[in-house]
Copies of this chain bind each other. A is one copy, B any other.
Amino acid sequence: MPLNPQRTIDELKELRSLTSDENGAQRVAWTDTWLKAREWFASKLKGLPVEHHYDAAGNNWVTLPGASEKCLLIGGHLDSVPNGGWLDGSLNVIAALEVLRRFNDEFHGKPPVTIRVVDWADEEGARFGRSLLGSSAFAGTHSIAADRIRPDRDGIKLEDALRRGGVEIDRFPEAAKERKNAAAYLELHIEQGPVLERLNLSLAAVLGTKGVERHLITFHGQEAHSGSTPMQDRRDALAAAAKLALEIRHIARKHPDAVCTMGSVKTFPGIVTAVVGRCEATLDQRDLDPQILAQMFREAQEASHRFAEEEKCTVEWSRIWNIEPIAFHPALLDLCEQAIREVSATSHRMPSGPLHDAAEVSRAGIPTVMLFVQSLRGISHNKIEDTREDHLALCVQALDRLASKTVTWILQK
């Protein structure tokens, strides 16, 4: 049987009906619904000459052995955020399975290189606030000490939740064994942003994942009575934060792909009758160019100190998290563009703002590229997340072409 993109769409809908409720997808990692999704996926392997196992970090591996031991990895994740969309993560896993089936059929069970589909464990980090969990264990960048006692909302520790799922955090490093013979990694994903829709394009080759600087910024002023404190006597912590909320937009707009976001502002005491004495704000800055990212971070810091001084406040910064920009493999990027051009009129190159498991795989030194398909309204992590069905069919075809080109590239290396 040739590639059947409609089957991918049908299977996505099947998974949706099995693991969603009226609020959206509920495949949160380490929950029963997630395990149900994985069982459903395993049921789709019947009749295929594949080996199937879960590694020491809970990643889900399906291997179709080829003439060469060199492996082409194609991956995604079946886990979702709570009240999530039907495509984020699952599209990649189910499309990869379709590509594996095509290789199996075309080469009568023996493709030129080994084809492996991977369903990464806990990409979203929705429950424990630690994303890319399984792929970081695979890449060897994971810190057991940092994650072991992370609590979920109910106080259950990550370590214990994993154990209930049959995964021992102390054995995480063993997941690195799966890197053996890995020659390339491909990941298809919905864009999760509005760029392709605005450009009226269906597909894009992804340059890499942007680096992220994520900080908590606290302005300290002086709580004061809103009625009795003249304007000139105030030390208003909110005013300093408001200036920064507007300034970070100027900082970002100097660069074509950079973004800066203040996503949370908290005011203390936070009552209608008091000048804000303390204001906590979060900052998230991203760019693919490490120098631009560093410059934006520096500019935001400088601005915060200037605004604090103007408002007779003080300011302190505390890093929440950061990651460096990760550029994908140039040769695979070219192949990805060729594949896109073969199935649609125009190709496009763009960075990914969101992080993906591909970033971890690339950090492990495995040549990697991603393929984006248009998202409607740029919305994801929401039940209204959607992509046109003709675009879904197109992206499965493009992934398949990219896989074939990558197999050839692996053999030529």
Tell me the A residues contacting B by CB distance below 8 Å: 191-195, 198, 210, 212, 214, 224-231, 233, 238-239, 241-243, 245-246, 249, 252-253, 257-267, 269-276, 279, 282-284, 286, 320, 352-355, 378-381
Contact = CB atoms under 8 A, between A and B. Distances in A.
B381 A225 contact: yes
A241 B274 CA distance: 17
Given A225-B381, A381-B225, A267 B270 contact: no
Chain A binding site: helix, strand, loop or mixed by DSSP?
mixed
A193 B225 contact: yes
Given A230-B193, A233-B198, A272 B263 contact: yes
B262 A228 contact: no
A230 B264 contact: no
A264 to B, nearest CB: 4
Contacts of A267: 263-266
Nearest to A232: B253
Nearest to A379: B224
Contacts of A378: 224-225, 228-229, 233
Given A239-B245, A243-B246, A263 B259 contact: no
A253 B224 contact: no
A192 B246 contact: no
A231 B257 CA distance: 9
A261 B210 contact: no
A252 B226 CA distance: 12
Contacts of A352: 227-228
Nearest to A214: B272
Nearest to A283: B272
Nearest to A131: B273
A210 B239 contact: no
17 contacts: A195-B228, A198-B233, A210-B227, A214-B272, A225-B380, A225-B381, A226-B284, A231-B260, A233-B378, A246-B246, A261-B274, A264-B270, A264-B276, A265-B276, A266-B270, A271-B282, A272-B320
